[in-house]
Amino acid sequence: AQSVTQLGSHVSVSEGALVLLRCNYSSSVPPYLFWYVQYPNQGLQLLLKYTSAATLVKGINGFEAEFKKSETSFHLTKPSAHMSDAAEYFCAVSASSASKIIFGSGTRLSIRP
């Protein structure tokens, strides 16, 4: 079975600071990993995904994530936060092309001026 744990339900950073959102996964087979973002009053949209190619994945809006098998982690980073990055971020895992996606509980990112 697959599962995903997001550490920290709320993260607050200053504008221009590093953003780091943590995600650890559990999977009995090589996983597919995703980060989705939800802006206020909107549905989720894909930020980036890992599908067993390069371990460093670049996404939209300057975000990237690194797959670390030894640490079972897929943390999301952005070097410099913008006010527009304020949103809720969800990490998700899928085990294979035939399976469904399991979402984490989400991390709300706030940006301080």
Partner 1 sequence: DADVTQTPRNRITKTGKRIMLECSQTKGHDRMYWYRQDPGLGLRLIYYSFDVKDINKGEISDGYSVSRQAQAKFSLSLESAIPNQTALYFCATSDTGGADTQYFGPGTRLTVL
51 binds partner 1 (CB under 8 A): yes
Do 81 and 89 meet the contact criterion of CB atoms below 8 Å apart?
no
C-alpha 33/C-alpha 60 separation (Å) is 16
What does each C-alpha distance from 23 to 5, 70, 113 come to in angstroms?
6, 14, 26
43 binds partner 1 (CB under 8 A): yes
97 binds partner 1 (CB under 8 A): yes
53-82 binders of partner 1 (CB under 8 A): none
45 binds partner 1 (CB under 8 A): yes
Give residues in contact with partner 1 (CB under 8 A). Answer: 6, 9, 32, 34, 36, 41-46, 49, 51, 90, 94-101, 103-106
